[in-house]
A = this chain, B = another copy of it.
Amino acid sequence: MATADYVSMKVFSLNCWGIRYLSKLCSQRYQMIGEMLCKEEHDIVLLQEVWSEKDYLYLKKKLSTSHSHSHYFKSGVIGSGLAIFSKHRIHDTFLYRYSLNGYPYMAHHGDWFGGKAVGMAVLNLGGLTANIYVTHLHAEYCREKDTYLAHRVVQAWELQQFIRHTSAGADVVILGGDLNMHPQDLGSRLLRSYTGLRDAYLETAKFDGCENGITLIADNPFISKKELVPFEKGIRIDYILFKGTSKTDVDCDFMSTTKGSVPDQPFPYSDHEALTAQLQLKASVPAQAGSDQQSKPPAGKLAELVDIVTEARTEVKVGLHCAERMRYTAARTGAMGLALLFLELAIAAVPCFALGAEQPFPRTSFYLLAALCFAILLSTSLLYIFYTMELKSLQGAEDQMRLAVGGLQEKLRGFPLARPHDAPRGPPEGDKPNALDPEE
**CB-CB contacts of A87-100 with B at 8 A, as 1s and 0s?**
00111111111010
**CB-CB contacts of A61-82 with B at 8 A, as 1s and 0s?**
0000000000111111101000
Contact between chains at B91 and A407 (CB < 8 Å):
yes
The reply on A364 being an interface residue by CB < 8 A is yes
Contact between chains at A92 and B389 (CB < 8 Å):
no
Q: Cα distance A89–B413 when bound, in Å?
A: 15
Contact between chains at B94 and A165 (CB < 8 Å):
yes
Partner among B97, B161, B392 whose Cβ is within 8 Å of the Cβ of A94: B161
Interface size counted on chain A using CB atoms at 8 A: 50
**CB-CB contacts of A362-373 with B at 8 A, as 1s and 0s?**
011001101100
Residues of B within 8 A of A79 (CB): 392
The reply on A31 being an interface residue by CB < 8 A is no
**CB-CB contacts of A155-195 with B at 8 A, as 1s and 0s?**
00000011001101110000000000000000000000000
Partner among B93, B96, B370 whose Cβ is within 8 Å of the Cβ of A96: B96
Residues of B within 8 A of A410 (CB): 89
**CB-CB contacts of A292-310 with B at 8 A, as 1s and 0s?**
0000000000000000000
Residues of B within 8 A of A399 (CB): 71-72, 74, 93
Tell me the smallest distance from the CB of A167 to a CB of chain B, in Å: 8
Partner among B77, B165, B370, B392 whose Cβ is within 8 Å of the Cβ of A385: B77
Assuming the contacts A75-B392, A168-B169, A410-B89, asked whether A400 and B94 have C-beta atoms less than 8 A apart, the reply is yes
Partner among B71, B76, B364 whose Cβ is within 8 Å of the Cβ of A403: B71
Question: Nearest chain-B residue to A90 (Cβ)?
Answer: B403
**CB-CB contacts of A391-432 with B at 8 A, as 1s and 0s?**
011011001100110010010000000000000000000000
Contact between chains at A92 and B166 (CB < 8 Å):
no
Residues of B within 8 A of A97 (CB): 97, 99
Partner among B71, B76, B393 whose Cβ is within 8 Å of the Cβ of A74: B393
Tell me the smallest distance from the CB of A330 to a CB of chain B, in Å: 13
Contact between chains at B396 and A75 (CB < 8 Å):
yes
Residues of B within 8 A of A169 (CB): 168-169
The reply on A120 being an interface residue by CB < 8 A is yes
Q: Cα distance A33–B78 when bound, in Å?
A: 45
Residues of B within 8 A of A36 (CB): none
Q: Cα distance A73–B397 when bound, in Å?
A: 10
Q: Can you list 29 A-B pairs with a CB-CB distance of less than 8 A?
A: A71-B403, A72-B399, A73-B396, A74-B393, A75-B99, A75-B392, A75-B393, A75-B396, A76-B389, A76-B392, A77-B385, A77-B392, A89-B407, A89-B410, A90-B403, A91-B407, A92-B165, A92-B403, A92-B404, A93-B403, A95-B396, A97-B99, A104-B385, A120-B165, A165-B165, A166-B168, A363-B367, A367-B367, A371-B374
A-side interface residues toward B, CB under 8 Å? 71-77, 79, 89-97, 99, 104, 115, 120, 161-162, 165-166, 168-170, 363-364, 367-368, 370-371, 374-375, 378, 385, 388-389, 392-393, 395-396, 399-400, 403-404, 407, 410
